[in-house]
Chain A
Amino acid sequence: MTHALAPLFARMTGDEKHEWAAASTLDVLWVLYDRVLRIDGPDDPDRDRFLLSKGHGPMAFYAVLAAKGFLDPSTLDTWTRFDSILGHHPDRTLVPGAEIGSGSLGHGLPIAVGQALGLRARQSPARVFVLVGDGELDEGSNHEAIAVAARLGLGNLTAIVVDNHSSNHGWPGGIASRFTVEGWAGITVDGRDHVALHAALTEDHPGGPLVVVADIRKS
């Protein structure tokens, strides 16, 4: 399980004990890549897309990509060097398996809407999953995309909001309601519970997008 990621994390951070387990995205990423995403190859036009919109702290993402064979684990040792393909924010043109370059917040969800539109126009079975943070949701561009995705009926789109309660001004009424009021299906689960995450991420949502809010309780 995710414990296998600890030594991969350590190649970047030098710490096997704390940082890897604290990463709020770790469990969502593992469930997605281990049990949900259908990716036969990074160039398969019908592969599922995973977009890490919240590009900050991508060590968990890189560790999962290495664990799943997209990256040679030795690449992790080069982390943030001048000639490394791995930086503090991922660059899709450098990192095998990374579907977007991210770092500036609020870009992944609008791009995911475009990808979902494009895949639907091609009648592809591929699905689009995009991970955003609760703090990232402050960016207004997300709310443009939330409205558009619902209006266009994008049943092949799932947004995962990792909620570690970092938004400066909070989300009265809950994060899921910001999506469901626009017509999304919405599920809120414990962001560390793999069974619950898997059930939510594979929930049927025909005719419209789905948001899965992964709640990360502070320890």
Chain B
Amino acid sequence: MTTLDTRTMREAFAVSMTEALDQDPRVALVLAAISVDLFAGPLEAHPDRVVNVGIREQAMVGVAGGLALTGFRPVVHTYAPFLVERPYEQVKLDLGHQGVGAVLVSVGASYDNPAMGRTHQAPADVALIDSLPGWTVHVPGHPDEVAPLLTGALAGDGLVYVRLSMRSNSTAQPVTGEFVPVRHGSLGVVLAVGPTLDAVLAATEGVDVSVLYTPTVRPFDHAGLRAAVQSAAPNVLVVEPYLAGTSAHAVAGALADTPHRQRSAGVRRDVEVRAYGTAAQHDEVHGLDAAGIARTLRDFLG
């Protein structure tokens, strides 16, 4: 979780989204002041279906619901806390309860820029979305994974959350919707979600464990996890770049008929870290740096 790409996920999103708006008259975009500069062209080219509502996040999601009810495929984009937490009831009622879909694309992640403090951090975003039925959740680990994930999301009509981050792995992985086997070992299975892969690979260097990678956590690839567990000891460590244990229930569900152990690495639930500094420093606090993940794994495997 250390590489910053000059072509960020946010920029990759802007490029891919602009192409989609140019090509598909069904696609709409609702902004709330954030990233308006990245979409200056589409705001001018498609003023009928690319709208900036200003700093009004409840209206942002409600407007998206109305657009979906009139046949559009709305994309809604802002910082994660203002996309998921502030208008959470609008996400629940104006989209899901109305029986319509949308693609929510966030930036900021758990603590991409810790100097901005707690107000701009959303480690609970995926857990909150996961409390609602029917959502697909993508957590890309590299800017090159953004376009295929977004294209797939726009092609459907369901509820999709795409969590972009400044954190990135050094190389992109295939985007298949299934867990991608990266390494094979015998003592257990480590599932790396999105931008945690590089740290997981460093932490498991020389350790006899399997490593899986996924940029898609909902739906959770039950078959992929079961296949990995069948060829290793049934010890599962999930490393997620957001609230620890967010996918613990999904692991339990996937392995309901299989005796297994599991451990969760992620952003700590027990403290609000009142500190600024860098994302790497926050990784250390949460045990999400390579050393912390290695420690957790040693403790887990004994």
The reply to whether chain A is a binding partner of chain B is: yes
Task: Give the residue name and chain of the A residue nearest to B63 (CB).
Answer: A114
Q: Which of B65, B66, B71, B74 has the most CB of A within 10 A?
A: B66
Given contacts A92-B98, A148-B53, whether A115 and B69 have CB atoms under 8 Å apart is yes
Q: How far is the CB of A106 from chain B (nearest CB, A)?
A: 8
A84 at the interface (CB under 8 A from B): no
A92 vs B95: C-alpha distance when bound (angstroms): 12
* Residues B93 and A104 in contact, CB atoms below 8 Å apart: yes
Q: Which of A118-162 contact B (CB under 8 A)?
A: 118-122, 124, 140-141, 144-145, 147-148, 152
Q: Which of A39-84 contact B (CB under 8 A)?
A: 45
Q: How far is the CB of B247 from chain A (nearest CB, A)?
A: 29
Q: How far is the CB of A116 from chain B (nearest CB, A)?
A: 7
A117 vs B50: C-alpha distance when bound (angstroms): 10
A113 at the interface (CB under 8 A from B): yes
* Residues A107 and B48 in contact, CB atoms below 8 Å apart: no
* Residues A141 and B59 in contact, CB atoms below 8 Å apart: yes
* Residues B99 and A141 in contact, CB atoms below 8 Å apart: no
A208 at the interface (CB under 8 A from B): no
A214 at the interface (CB under 8 A from B): no
Given contacts A93-B99, A122-B71, whether A117 and B63 have CB atoms under 8 Å apart is yes
Q: How far is the CB of A54 from chain B (nearest CB, A)?
A: 14
A127 vs B56: C-alpha distance when bound (angstroms): 24
In the complex, chain A residues whose CB is within 8 Å of the CB of B61? 110
A69 vs B99: C-alpha distance when bound (angstroms): 23
Q: Which of B46-63 contact A (CB under 8 A)?
A: 48-49, 51, 53-54, 56, 58-59, 61-63
Q: How far is the CB of A184 from chain B (nearest CB, A)?
A: 15
A101 vs B56: C-alpha distance when bound (angstroms): 22
In the complex, chain B residues whose CB is within 8 Å of the CB of A116? 66
In the complex, chain A residues whose CB is within 8 Å of the CB of B74? 114
* Residues B62 and A117 in contact, CB atoms below 8 Å apart: no
Given contacts A101-B98, A117-B51, A144-B59, whether A110 and B90 have CB atoms under 8 Å apart is yes
In the complex, chain A residues whose CB is within 8 Å of the CB of B53? 144, 148
A145 vs B74: C-alpha distance when bound (angstroms): 17
In the complex, chain A residues whose CB is within 8 Å of the CB of B71? 45, 118, 122
Interface size class of B (residues with CB under 8 A): 20 to 34
Interface size class of A (residues with CB under 8 A): 20 to 34
Q: How far is the CB of A112 from chain B (nearest CB, A)?
A: 6
* Residues A145 and B70 in contact, CB atoms below 8 Å apart: no
* Residues A119 and B93 in contact, CB atoms below 8 Å apart: no
Task: Give the residue name and chain of the B residue nearest to A103 (CB).
Answer: B93
A106 vs B62: C-alpha distance when bound (angstroms): 10
Q: Which of B67, B70, B98 contacts A100 (CB under 8 A)? A: B98
B126 at the interface (CB under 8 A from A): no
B89 at the interface (CB under 8 A from A): yes
A99 at the interface (CB under 8 A from B): yes
Q: Which of B194-244 contact A (CB under 8 A)?
A: none
A92 vs B94: C-alpha distance when bound (angstroms): 11
Given contacts A110-B94, A147-B54, A148-B56, whether A99 and B69 have CB atoms under 8 Å apart is yes
A10 at the interface (CB under 8 A from B): no
A111 at the interface (CB under 8 A from B): yes
Given contacts A100-B98, A110-B90, A110-B94, whether A115 and B56 have CB atoms under 8 Å apart is no
In the complex, chain B residues whose CB is within 8 Å of the CB of A115? 66-67, 69-70
Q: How far is the CB of B31 from chain A (nearest CB, A)?
A: 12
* Residues B62 and A121 in contact, CB atoms below 8 Å apart: no
In the complex, chain A residues whose CB is within 8 Å of the CB of B56? 144-145, 147-148
* Residues A107 and B94 in contact, CB atoms below 8 Å apart: yes
Task: Give the residue name and chain of the A residue nearest to B25 (CB).
Answer: A121
* Residues A113 and B63 in contact, CB atoms below 8 Å apart: yes
A113 vs B69: C-alpha distance when bound (angstroms): 11
* Residues B65 and A114 in contact, CB atoms below 8 Å apart: yes
A144 vs B70: C-alpha distance when bound (angstroms): 21
Task: Given A124-B70, A144-B53, A148-B53, output 18 extra A-B contacts at Cβ < 8 Å.
Answer: A99-B69, A100-B69, A106-B58, A110-B66, A111-B69, A111-B94, A113-B59, A114-B62, A114-B63, A114-B74, A115-B70, A117-B66, A118-B66, A121-B49, A122-B71, A147-B56, A148-B54, A148-B59
27 contacts between A and B (CB under 8 A): A91-B97, A93-B99, A101-B97, A101-B98, A107-B62, A107-B93, A109-B62, A110-B59, A110-B62, A110-B66, A111-B63, A114-B64, A115-B67, A115-B70, A117-B48, A117-B49, A117-B51, A117-B66, A118-B70, A118-B71, A122-B71, A124-B70, A141-B90, A147-B54, A147-B56, A148-B53, A148-B59
